[in-house]
Structure 1
């Protein structure tokens, strides 16, 4: 769990503080010496596992709420991601895409990783498939890191393919991607990768954008702040963790694939994914395979459940949505970037497919 995780939770705490108005919020390291010197806060939201600091909070009767899922903190109420559901959501994502080989990459000794693995493997096994598990270390010793790296590459090179691999968080998902690249494998065609946390820094800078599960970190921060307010008002602590369910899978390039046995259909899907935003047509897709247009269209519909034209449009609209959400580009520039010939044509295609105008979609996304 990294800096982005804590900052996302802090934004939820600040959202609560803006409503409460009486709070002063400090985002800083819990300093044991400060506590010993009498610099006591009214309450603390704990993200970490420094046992001595937590014991001092109890000693000074300072109300606290824990938001870290790495290790349980005794006598401290917790607000946590619903890790088992996160794992199950990841399994459903791969099963819906037709995968038959599955893996989970975790971190040894981290509680949240174990719980996500349990949810993932349970759902995969209930569907009738085995799941391979890789438990890496979080060591900072260079020799151990190099040995771990070599073992990861060997593991992924020898895994059955195509394989869907869920990682316990986005940092570990980047490790899966790097290992796949070093093993000479294609992502997502041979190795599809799904992370957790939806940390955009990790997900958008890997060389290929990584799909991830949005686990509502700001909601966790808000709920933790509500709980802390209740504790500071003398209400008893909850005996069981409050669990916040994940929101959804944010689909990016690393899982934007169907695991299909038909090699020509797979080639068509790959060509569309790589070229749709260059303004290609159905004939271009057929020319990228060894089939006639008519034969390809028939087999594509049988396997994918959509027409070639619909799949081209789907990929184009996915990029339109991404640019509307993440940039201030005008519609003309977005149209050119997505293989659509004009702003007016983009608007017509977008409204037909999404039942909303591009401008309204952008406003709606930013309002949320």
Structure 2
């Protein structure tokens, strides 16, 4: 009797490499680098057993005794750089770019966000918006803020090249006890700046601080002060009444590149002292930098109020009260400056907000109508048909088709 040939015995899978990721997962910058590492692993099917502390404050405890194969670490944190100085494992460093090459860690491959290009992109955007004056809001000098000081150097270099006076204000470190004092100092600095001015904040958190100071003291954004941050942090957009423009760093690409280098190092390759600078992806342009020069201070002040409260159902009379002029006078100013009524400007902001929400698919049409200040879902439908020639659902499907997981089977 013929026997079937014996099947070959499969070789056991190779053990996964044990890799430590030393990042602060509370920061959007670090999270996106980690996401880039994850995308590299998925795209290459590399088997790594990842060590990532849930409590980032404990991530260095005993790291010199880590029984693993490699490390990818945030070298913007001085404590991380110091802890890994003499570790024998392959290490890929990730962090800020430096003007002075001596600032880079010796002997390690280093993946950097290109600070000069980050700041240059923000600078070019503000100049393109027609802003004649620029400034920067930075952080106090500290070892852990070296990346912020590098962004200052890039900003000051651009100012020299353009022959512009462009001040830098560092302010205070944000903490509960110093919050009021920091806000007052920031307000005084903003008041002294020539207007209109574009301000580059070194992070979105600093941009939000700027915006809060402007809103508290009635400084119109972006008519008087246009604000752009760096990080494109979705949390910042959630916490502000006026959406803040932001430079999108190439963080995911940094994570992928770091993972690729470590993968090669685990196979025996060495990249001592190699530096790779990753440029920004682009800018998420939102309301805080959509600067349109206004000749009428009344229209400027009215638009500042509308931008904040259009979706709360405000009426023309409330806008006029805020500006401090009669309703008829305000309407006349709007006709001259914008060729529209105050009501039409309010409606435009509500419609823009509804379009953004529908495109994100985060809420139903009924929820969008409520959150954007329409009196009813039917009224929102009527506005969409009149202004855009389609229903909210048709608009949503045209800009953000449903993903396969959302499509119901036939």
TM-score (norm 1): 0.76
Q: Once the 2 structures are TM-superposed, how far is the Cα of residue 126 of structure 1 from its aligned partner?
A: 4.6
- What is the correspondence of 1:1-368 to structure 2 with a 5 Å cutoff? 3-21=27-45, 22-28=47-53, 29=56, 34-37=62-65, 39-47=66-74, 48-49=77-78, 50-57=80-87, 60=88, 62-69=89-96, 72-107=104-139, 108-109=141-142, 110-124=145-159, 126-127=161-162, 129-136=164-171, 138=173, 150-237=184-271, 239-263=273-297, 266=300, 269-270=303-304, 273=307, 290=329, 299-300=337-338, 315-316=349-350, 318-331=352-365, 333-334=367-368, 337=372, 341-343=379-381, 346=384, 349-350=387-388, 357-363=395-401
Aligned residues: 354
Contact in 2 for aligned 1:215/1:245 (Cα 8 Å): yes
Secondary structure of the corresponding residue to residue 56 of structure 1: coil
Q: C-alpha distance in 2, partners of 1:33/1:279?
A: 54
Q: Once the 2 structures are TM-superposed, how far is the Cα of residue 325 of structure 1 from its aligned partner?
A: 4.1
Q: Once the 2 structures are TM-superposed, how far is the Cα of residue 173 of structure 1 from its aligned partner?
A: 1.6
After superposition, the C-alpha distances for 1:136-169 in whole angstroms (9 at most, x for unaligned) are 45487957x7765553333223222232211101
TM-score (norm 2): 0.70
Q: C-alpha distance in 2, partners of 1:275/1:151?
A: 27
Q: C-alpha distance in 2, partners of 1:193/1:86?
A: 15
Secondary structure of the corresponding residue to residue 38 of structure 2: helix
Greater mean alpha carbon deviation, residues 177-186 or residues 331-340: 331-340
**Root-mean-square deviation over aligned CA pairs:** 4.2
Gapped regions of structure 2 (runs ≥ 5): 1-23, 98-102, 321-325, 406-410
Q: Once the 2 structures are TM-superposed, how far is the Cα of residue 13 of structure 1 from its aligned partner?
A: 1.0
Secondary structure of the corresponding residue to residue 25 of structure 1: strand
After superposition, the C-alpha distances for 1:206-240 in whole angstroms (9 at most, x for unaligned) are 45432222113222212221122122222231634
Secondary structure of the corresponding residue to residue 358 of structure 2: helix
Q: C-alpha distance in 2, partners of 1:92/1:203?
A: 22
Q: Once the 2 structures are TM-superposed, how far is the Cα of residue 323 of structure 1 from its aligned partner?
A: 0.4
